[in-house]
Amino acid sequence: MHITSLFPRTHGTRAGQPDWGAETIEAVRALDHEYLAAMRSNDAAWFLRHLAEDAVIVDAGGRRLHKPEFLASLREAPRSFSSLGVRAVTVRWFGMTVQVDADACWKLADGSGGVSRYIDTYVWLEGRWQVISAQITPLPASAVGR
């Protein structure tokens, strides 16, 4: 995993805010692992709790989904993953915002599979990390590994 701070904090934390060092990285990494587990199991309840109310998800087909549409897609058209893993994770933070970008290697129960590059953006809102956006881009076979 690669970690970059573009706006490092030079002061101590204020009440109600996370430690902007290792604690932040570990908290967001754990949430990102939970995010992937929720995708794997079509866990709409997890996304209901962790997506900000005005979150936007751009899916692999390029559709822009707001929170209600995204939750409906999980409930009405669930995907049956046989595997979903992650590699090449980079975590970057910008003040009160943290981005995770990585490659997700996936395989569906029907045998189809691929690699998607994603960026999940988390913001510290209401005393907790919330997902405000996610972008999923399928990689062509020629780009896998880059």
% of the chain beyond a pLDDT of 70? 83
What pTM was estimated for this model as a whole? 0.81
Per-residue model confidence as pLDDT tens digits over 35-93: 999 999 999 999 999 999 999 999 999 999 999 999 999 999 888 889 989 999 999 98
Dihedral sign for Cα 118, 116, 70, 135, please. positive
- Show me where the domains of the chain are located: 19-141
CA dist 103 → 6, 33, 59, 63, 115 (Å): 21, 13, 14, 19, 6
Name the CA dihedral angle for 93, 97, 102, 107, rounded to a multiple of 10 degrees.
160
User: For residue 56, which of 119, 105, 103, 100 has the smallest C-alpha distance?
Assistant: 119
64 SS3 class: strand
Distances (CA, A) of 40 to 17, 54, 68, 86, 105: 30, 23, 19, 12, 12
Question: At 46, is the secondary structure helix, strand, or coil?
Answer: helix
pLDDT digit string, tens, across residues 123-140: 999 999 999 999 999 998
Give the model's pLDDT for residue 146. Answer: 55
Indicate the CATH number for domain 19-141. 3.10.450.50
The encoded tokens of residue 113 equal: 């599979």
Average pLDDT for residues 8-21, to the nearest whole number? 49
Among 16-25, 72-81, 109-118, where is mean pLDDT lowest? 16-25
